[in-house]
Amino acid sequence: MAGDTQQATGTALGDTLTSWLSIYLKGIAMGTADSIPGVSGGTIAFITGIYERLITAITSVDPAAATLLLGITSGRGRQRLADRLIEMDVPFLVVLGTGVVTAVVAVSRFVYLALQEAPGATFAFFFGLIAASAIVLYEQLSLATPGRIAAAATGFVLAFLVSGVTAGADGIHALPVVFVAGSIAIVAMILPGVSGAFFLVLLGQYEYLTGTLTAFVDGIIAAAVGDRAVGSLLDPATTVVTFVAGAVVGLFTVAHAIRWALDHYRAATLSFLVSLMVGALRLPVIEMRDATATLSPESIAPLLLATVVGGGAVLVLDRYTDDLSY
């Protein structure tokens, strides 16, 4: 009898570990998508079947629960805190978030290197991703009212103007700008179809932030093995923390505002967002032009190939998610 109980407990523990591993891997998939302009982590959450749970968990988080930390000195207080965290599904958010961060750190390093070594082809790849995403989302639109047309026109003009300013420029990377970028980029986890990395590209922060994250991780490794002083991490660490703080604030402000807009003015909101993506295509075009010294079949061919690969990736993804509603 005791052996049966022990076996049942072991099986339950195995099931729990398997479940958490599954959530972690889904977080990696989301983080990979969140790191690439044009692909939405929210879409990956839909595909993997955790979107509703994610939204429910985010909206269930209550800052007032922090008051329970005052009672952690007693066993009863710790139990109350644990019960409240489980009730809000915080363990799910932590495991999923760990997977997202793992992927973001790995993928951002690769993308940053690609931007340094082959900026033209990389931005051509981004162009394909963003253009295909706009095409996919366009199927959801209906510009049947003046309000929707106005929303679409506003989104296009806004993105066209902003992308003209940020393309080819060093950009402003002050901490308040990084904070705002983080609060806007977090929408990728909330809104299927729209990429948070896309907004970073539009705001001229993408290459800077991927480079800063890469430098931060390299600095941590170097400090751990004694090759660099911990103090040298201050600048990249400050930027990373500021971005994360913006993302946290955005999770409970910008993301909720967008969800409200979708619930009440879905067609107009989608019209604005899709047109925003179309207008922003100006930026990768400028970057491709600046990175191409001369126009010739030899220089254009890699750009066309990268564009096709990027667009094809989104279209293939959409092909297997036809039953999902953005």
Would the pTM count as exceeding 0.95?
no
Give the confidence band of 3 by pLDDT, cuts at 50, 70, 90. Answer: low
pLDDT tens by residue, 30-58? 888 888 886 778 778 877 778 878 888 88
Q: Is the pLDDT of residue 6 over 60?
A: no
Please enumerate in sequence order all residues whose Cβ is within 8 A of that of 188, keeping only pairs 6 or more positions apart, or say none. 33, 34, 40, 41, 42, 194, 195, 196, 197
C-alpha dist (Å) from residue 239 to 113, 178, 271: 19, 7, 33
pLDDT tens by residue, 116-137? 888 889 889 989 888 888 887 7
Please enumerate in sequence order all residues whose Cβ is within 8 A of that of 253, keeping only pairs 6 or more positions apart, or say none. 183
Give the confidence band of 245 by pLDDT, cuts at 50, 70, 90. Answer: very high
DSSP reduced 3-state for 17: helix
Q: What's the pLDDT at 255?
A: 67
- For residues 189 and 42, the answer to whether their CB atoms sit within 8 Å is yes
Helices 234-251 and 254-280 cross at an angle (nearest 10°) of: 110
Q: Is the pLDDT of residue 242 over 90?
A: yes
% of the chain surpassing 70 pLDDT: 87
Sketch the domain layout of the chain as residue ranges: 2-319
Query: Of the ranges 27-36, 183-192, 194-203, which one carries the lowest mean pLDDT score?
Result: 183-192
pLDDT tens by residue, 293-315? 787 888 889 899 999 998 888 88
What are residue 264's phi and psi, to 5 degrees?
A: -105, -30
Q: What's the pLDDT at 170?
A: 63
* Mean pLDDT for the chain overall: 81
Q: How many CB atoms lie within 10 A of CB 67?
A: 11
Instruction: Determine the distance from the C-alpha atom of residue 206 to the mean position of all C-alpha atoms in its chain, rounded to a whole number.
Output: 11
Give the amino acid at 220.
I
Rounded Cα gap, residues 185 and 111, in angstroms: 17
